[in-house]
Amino acid sequence: MDFKKVFGEKIELINEQLIDSITDIENDRLREAMIHYPKAGGKRLRPIITMLVADSISRSGSAALPFGIALELVHNFTLVHDDVMDKDETRRGIQTVHSKYGVSEAILAGDALFAKAFELIGDMDLDGDRKSDLTSLLARSVILLAEGQQMDMDFETEESVSAEEYMKMIERKTAVLYSAAAQGGAISAGAPEPLQETMFEFGRVMGLGFQIWDDVLDLRADEKLLGKPVGSDIRNGKKTLIIILALEDLKDENRTRFLQLLGKSDATDSEVEEAVGILDSAGSIDRAQRIASELIAKAKVLLDDLPEGDSRQRLIELTDFMIKRDM
Amino acid sequence: MDFKKVFGEKIELINEQLIDSITDIENDRLREAMIHYPKAGGKRLRPIITMLVADSISRSGSAALPFGIALELVHNFTLVHDDVMDKDETRRGIQTVHSKYGVSEAILAGDALFAKAFELIGDMDLDGDRKSDLTSLLARSVILLAEGQQMDMDFETEESVSAEEYMKMIERKTAVLYSAAAQGGAISAGAPEPLQETMFEFGRVMGLGFQIWDDVLDLRADEKLLGKPVGSDIRNGKKTLIIILALEDLKDENRTRFLQLLGKSDATDSEVEEAVGILDSAGSIDRAQRIASELIAKAKVLLDDLPEGDSRQRLIELTDFMIKRDM
């Protein structure tokens, strides 16, 4: 799928409304800090999913779009705050909000992006009950995001993390906004509850597949496409599923050597290559790739519950794209 | 008015629901960081106002309470984030959240408190339209809070700030949650729009009076009651209304001396006393006190629009208390 060709028009519409949603902020510094990431672009996967689900159910993609924008605002708010927590100076080649505007401004801009998301829901052209359901969905999602982020921080100091705990963490930290995107599209479109729940589940397994594929890409992708150095998870000692699976299997000198390299922040490129080689020989990269593929296959089956048509077809392609994308 | 005696039962109920709202957070560290300020107590002015307004209109204080709790959560979230921005180590005698749990945890706990506030509104036993109105009110309030906080930070580097700009800043940073408290009570109670708007205005002028009285207290209160050193605004070089009014009037050596002392972080107690003396002689503390009294009087007139009864009477007493309290 040529992502830009298929979704170009939607992305343009989303970008317009996204930027537009921030223009009424009075304070110049606050507004500029808020708009810094949204105007840097992005694939806008979450709003696209919301629109496609709503279009598929009742051709109501445009009416559902503000909820998609709200999710994109929340996604951007978490990026701003996560970057402060991680003390990262750059994100995909641009300065992070706090390094450009200051830590206080970044905290505040994140808070305001978050509030703006709820304001957008309040302004939607839907009856009060649906808006209230969307508000609850978004609020619950952000609570889970915070739980996931805290779990991820806890992992840094924990001796060992199980595959199960890892899946629980990424379900909260990554998948939750995909579940919200799909379920929110269904709620906006007036879908019955069982279909809303199926859409939530679709987003959940798709989001899990997305994250695990992301971990694979960190080890196998091209550095230029990735926008960050290959193997950064190894240098950061991050406990991804691949590394957790490998540590369950690795023995003797392979294990000793791998543990020497894991978390070695100044590891050379050839040391990172060596670590990737050990993961490869343990078969854990292939296993993770297989798990991601299975999750994506499962997500596609759930799409059978949507009415047949172009929008569903686009959703199937988008779901496939999650494990075909190279960035 | 004996505040504790009059509102003791309400405060107990509020504390119970406030703490209860956080218990479902799974992650121990996140939950503890979230609950740190709420469990330290407080006067709970905002939820009390919400309940009294709703009780006065339709005896629906209990039904409106979750919105009051939501405001208290938002108030606590802003305290957590403000303390990170100000790098304060203590708040009213206890460790700040970030100094106890870490900066990342404090940012995250603030975010989660904020999300929780919206979840509480979604769970209220009201029709969807009212819940949607409450969501919009809360979202708009937090956007204004962020605008006010950014204005306040901008003031630090600005040469001069006008009284008008100061009023605009505290309207956003302080008064907004009082407006929301009163209007939210009216929305929950099903009041017609004009009464909702009157209640918003009541909260606004009351909140302004509250903040200006706070600035007066900083210079005239007893240190133990205040919970922080007297004159901290002088040592911090904070541009409060009192100081703005004085700078409009002060001339010659009085002005020169005052500007030497303003913002002198290591000023001795007698230097602070000297600065307060200059403000006194310029009459600006008295002027601020008069402005606060006029705002409170104006707020009380607006309460005439509520049905007569005990709840309205309590609101009148509470409004008076705003400029009688010594902490």
> pLDDT for B292-325, tens place per residue?
999 999 999 999 999 999 999 999 999 999 998 7
Q: How far is CA B81 from CA A28, A306, B98, B106, B233, in A?
A: 20, 43, 9, 7, 20
- pLDDT tens for chain A, 327 residues long, are 888 899 999 999 999 999 999 999 999 999 999 999 999 999 999 999 999 999 999 999 999 999 999 999 999 999 999 999 999 999 988 999 999 999 999 999 999 999 999 999 999 999 999 999 999 999 999 999 999 999 999 998 888 899 999 999 999 999 999 999 999 999 999 999 999 999 999 999 999 999 999 999 989 876 666 666 778 889 988 899 999 999 999 999 999 999 999 999 999 999 999 999 999 999 999 999 999 999 999 999 999 999 999 999 999 999 999 998 765
Q: Report which of A213, A214, A227, A175 is spatially closest to residue A46, judged by C-alpha positions.
A: A175
Q: Which of A104, A112, A153 is the closest to B85 by Cβ?
A: A104
Q: Does residue B326 fall inside a structural domain?
A: no
Q: What is residue A226's predicted lDDT score, i.e. its pLDDT?
A: 60
Interval B103-129: pLDDT, tens? 999 999 999 999 999 999 999 999 999
Q: B97 in contact with A at a CB cutoff of 8 Å?
A: no
Q: Report which of B69, B110, B17, B97 is spatially closest to residue A143, judged by C-alpha positions.
A: B110
Q: Does residue A327 fall inside a structural domain?
A: no
Interface size A-B, in CB pairs within 8 Å, comes to 155
Name chain A contacts of B85, Cβ cutoff 8 Å. 103-104, 107-108
Q: B286-289: long-range contacts at Cβ-Cβ below 8 A with a sequence spacing of 24 or more?
A: B287/B242, B287/B245, B288/B212, B288/B215, B288/B216, B288/B240, B288/B241, B288/B242, B288/B245, B289/B213, B289/B216, B289/B323
Q: What is residue A230's predicted lDDT score, i.e. its pLDDT?
A: 76
Q: Report which of A170, A175, A199 is spatially closest to residue A64, judged by C-alpha positions.
A: A199
The whole-angstrom separation of Cα A29 and Cα A36 is 11
Q: Do A146 and B112 touch (CB under 8 A)?
A: yes
Question: Which of A143, A158, A173, A187 is most worth mutating to test chain B (most B CB atoms within 10 A of its CB)?
Answer: A143
Q: What is residue B159's predicted lDDT score, i.e. its pLDDT?
A: 83
- If one counts every other C-beta atom within 10 angstroms of the C-beta of residue A251, the result is 8
Q: pTM for this one?
A: 0.94
What are residue A95's phi and psi, to 5 degrees? Answer: -65, 145
Q: Report which of B122, B92, B95, B97 is spatially closest to residue B30, judged by C-alpha positions.
A: B97
Min distance A161 CA to chain B CA atoms (Å): 15
Domain count, chain B: 1
Name chain A contacts of B25, Cβ cutoff 8 Å. 143, 147
The whole-angstrom separation of Cα A194 and Cα A148 is 26
Q: Does residue A169 fall inside a structural domain?
A: yes
Cβ B218 vs Cβ B233: under 8 Å = yes
Q: Which of A107, A116, A117 is the closest to B107 by Cβ?
A: A107
The whole-angstrom separation of Cα B155 and Cα A98 is 19
Q: Which CATH number do you get for residue A274?
A: 1.10.600.10
Cβ A79 vs Cβ A25: under 8 Å = no
The whole-angstrom separation of Cα B282 and Cα B325 is 24
Name chain A contacts of B69, Cβ cutoff 8 Å. none
Q: A81 in contact with B at a CB cutoff of 8 Å?
A: yes
Given a cut of 70, whether residue B225 has pLDDT beyond it is no
Given a cut of 80, whether residue B99 has pLDDT beyond it is yes
The whole-angstrom separation of Cα A149 and Cα B2 is 44
Cβ A47 vs Cβ A72: under 8 Å = yes
Q: Report which of B323, B314, B315, B317 is spatially closest to residue B296, judged by C-alpha positions.
A: B323
The whole-angstrom separation of Cα B137 and Cα B15 is 23
Of A100 and B226, the structure prediction assigns the larger pLDDT to A100
How many degrees, rounded to 5, is the angle at CA A64 between CA A58 and CA A67? 150
Q: Record the tokens describing residue B198, joined without a space.
A: 């009157």
Given a cut of 70, whether residue B223 has pLDDT beyond it is no
Q: Does residue A71 fall inside a structural domain?
A: yes
Given a cut of 60, whether residue B146 has pLDDT beyond it is yes
Q: Does residue A129 fall inside a structural domain?
A: yes
Half-sphere exposure of A208 (CA within 13 A, CB side): 25
Q: Does residue A216 fall inside a structural domain?
A: yes
Interval B185-199: pLDDT, tens? 999 999 999 999 999
What are residue A56's phi and psi, to 5 degrees? Answer: -65, -40
Q: What is residue B45's predicted lDDT score, i.e. its pLDDT?
A: 97
Average pLDDT, chain B: 94
Q: Does residue A16 fall inside a structural domain?
A: yes
The whole-number average pLDDT for the span B229-255 is 90
Bridge partners, A95 (sequence order): A90
What are residue B91's phi and psi, to 5 degrees? Answer: -135, 115
Q: Does residue A326 fall inside a structural domain?
A: no
Given a cut of 90, whether residue B178 has pLDDT beyond it is yes
Q: B157 in contact with A at a CB cutoff of 8 Å?
A: no
Q: Report which of B165, B149, B153, B167 is spatially closest to residue B74, judged by C-alpha positions.
A: B149
Q: A158 in contact with B at a CB cutoff of 8 Å?
A: no
How many degrees, rounded to 5, is the angle at CA A320 between CA A317 and CA A325? 110
Q: What is residue A316's predicted lDDT score, i.e. its pLDDT?
A: 97
Given a cut of 90, whether residue B92 has pLDDT beyond it is no
The whole-angstrom separation of Cα B245 and Cα A117 is 39
Q: B82 in contact with A at a CB cutoff of 8 Å?
A: no
- Length of chain A in terms of residues written: 327
Min distance B323 CA to chain A CA atoms (Å): 30
Amino acid identity, residue A309? G
> Which alpha helices (H) appear in B189-221, and where do they start and end?
193-220
Q: B59 in contact with A at a CB cutoff of 8 Å?
A: no
Largest CA distance in chain B: 63
> Could you list the residue range(s) of the whole structural domain that residue A177 is in?
3-321
